[in-house]
Structure 1
């Protein structure tokens, strides 16, 4: 059992356990002393001995972020986005906390601060990165932490379901606005997005070799959920692709030579020219999947095209038009 006492204006914690030398440390507050003693006792119970906490006292969370960014992030498919998120986290005061002093309260305060400036989904992703950094440090790098404090706090609730679909003549306005833009293939890109319901990354990653002309199918070797799939092309999508291919640079292997950041910039300018409000590029996936249902395809057929593995997730995209359903019911 730990002993906590006030000595010369500071709080001293002392832990005595059989088979180990007594450990003692002074703190400014009793709360800090209690936490240190509890953590040390937990570690003794877990490891059978008192670990060397000097490394925890000298290692900051920011240093773990830097090592993770170099050793772990590059092995992931979403390496670029994760490294960008870590750079944001690195600028937060949390990065300067030593691992011996990092507490649940610190993580909870970070969560609450971020929720004031970013969406809950962004905060959840940042917490997930922090949690994995600490988990890797414990499991692979041998950091003598008794617990992962990020796992002990409540995560924000994400409510990002959207029902936005193309309304009235919005599709035609978007396509017409492409003619005034400087990206020659953007109209084709929009048609493919609407007709197939493919994700942004899947569309931008398409190569001409992925398209089977005689079968009218696009083969995606790797997707967001970690597996490949084949996406059938409607006649409209296929014709648009072939028209663009006839004009494209023959040495360019990618169908749409554009980055995700560039696409977002072009999309924002396009919405201004088309005078459309509240439409995101990802909403075209909603539109495409919903149209597949409205064409009479069943859940299995739609999921094989869209790449959804869970019916729960697929239902979020399938916002069917009620008037159309009434007509089909008779």
Structure 2
């Protein structure tokens, strides 16, 4: 039974503390208390809480030490990476969230209101002044953690909190969805980038061969992390296709292995890569991403992401009048709706027909350096 104790405060008012003590075999196994301004409220809480604690396993769950959001994020990063390497964006986002005030809150503190407040804070000057889409991405990455925290680790997380927060923010007028990009590189921009990489290769042959990587990304439509995961054992010579492991998908990623057709231009690039180790492109995705960003900055090419090469590659196939199933066999998309964002067409025909850089990419020598071999060895150890 709970006990209710009255306490007179300095201002003359009275507060009521409801205290619950549970004993088993004469030993106290649980204790909890709450203070209320009204005695009736204290009695109501005590009755309700005693009923909850009577449920099987309730005391054990209540006795668990709460975990902070930062601790849950760290655990998620460790556990998920055992299955496969995480993307740089997700890792950076969850790490950054852990360093904010939200990261210090415990699992039982997280509710719809707290998540809404966090998104609004992120969009404020104090929180970084980010766009609603960025705040939405923060919630999406955090949502992946909260979705498994209760069932996988027993943390007391409200499974409905994240959905409620996104619903409230939409009703407040915030569009949390990422804007669809329609940025495609021009032939001039690609020529400048490849000229830059060609000069880099001439100065130091063992650096990441960005000529091969950029060319393959463009003609194969593969994402950056997919390119660096394709193995020689994943190549189907007869079908001119490769097995793309853990392809990005809203409903499933890990284990979502998809066979994708490789267009002739990309297939020719594969044939020029040396068969050293398991991976066709034994380079670190972080190194490729960094190299791309530095080159664009140096050449004053604005707002061009490496992923825009996939956009360009898919749009090119539509401009060549490939039908939807045929394009999907290359890109790996499952439905037309998800492909729509990549079809910002610039006419018809293949503007890469006779493109001088394709031949230069094929002839570019490949020499793997210490960094590439280190990455290759690391990849082998994590499999």
Question: How many residues in Structure 1 have an aligned counterpart in Structure 2?
Answer: 305
Q: For the residues of structure 2 that align with 1:39 and 1:150, how far apart are their CA atoms?
A: 29
Are the aligned partners of 1:107 and 1:150 in contact in 2 as well (CA < 8 Å)? yes
Q: For the residues of structure 2 that align with 1:111 and 1:304, how far apart are their CA atoms?
A: 38
Correspondence for 1:264 among 280, 289, 293:
289
Q: Provide the secondary structure at the position in 2 that maps to 1:251.
A: coil
Q: For the residues of structure 2 that align with 1:177 and 1:110, how far apart are their CA atoms?
A: 42
Q: Provide the secondary structure at the position in 1 that maps to 2:177.
A: coil
Are the aligned partners of 1:199 and 1:285 in contact in 2 as well (CA < 8 Å)? yes
Q: What residue in structure 2 maps to residue 295 of structure 1?
A: 320
Q: For the residues of structure 2 that align with 1:218 and 1:68, how far apart are their CA atoms?
A: 30
Q: What residue in structure 2 maps to residue 239 of structure 1?
A: 268
Aligned: 1:229 with 2:259: yes
Q: For the residues of structure 2 that align with 1:274 and 1:264, how far apart are their CA atoms?
A: 16
Q: How much has 1:185 moved relative to structure 2?
A: 2.2
Correspondence for 1:131 among 128, 138, 143:
143
Correspondence for 1:98 among 82, 103, 106:
106
Are the aligned partners of 2:77 and 2:91 in contact in 1 as well (CA < 8 Å)? yes
Are the aligned partners of 2:229 and 2:245 in contact in 1 as well (CA < 8 Å)? no
Q: What residue in structure 2 maps to residue 164 of structure 1?
A: 183
Q: How much has 1:196 moved relative to structure 2?
A: 1.8
Q: What residue in structure 2 maps to residue 149 of structure 1?
A: 161
TM-score normalised by structure 1 residue count: 0.74
Q: What residue in structure 2 maps to residue 254 of structure 1?
A: 279
Q: For the residues of structure 2 that align with 1:203 and 1:60, how far apart are their CA atoms?
A: 36
Q: Deviations over 1:171-225 (max 9, x none)?
A: 3222222211243621121111111211111112223343445654333244223
Runs of at least 5 residues in structure 2 that lack an aligned partner in the other structure: 21-31, 170-174, 202-206, 250-255, 350-383
Q: How much has 1:308 moved relative to structure 2?
A: 1.0
Q: For the residues of structure 1 that align with 2:100 and 2:150, how far apart are their CA atoms?
A: 22
Runs of at least 5 residues in structure 1 that lack an aligned partner in the other structure: 17-22, 326-330
TM-score normalised by structure 2 residue count: 0.65
Q: For the residues of structure 2 that align with 1:278 and 1:284, how far apart are their CA atoms?
A: 12
Q: What residue in structure 1 maps to residue 80 of structure 2?
A: 73
Aligned: 1:26 with 2:45: no
Q: Deviations over 1:132-181 (max 9, x none)?
A: 44443433444456654333212552132111112252232222222112
Flag the 1:224–1:99 CA change in 2: closer, same or farther, 3 A: closer
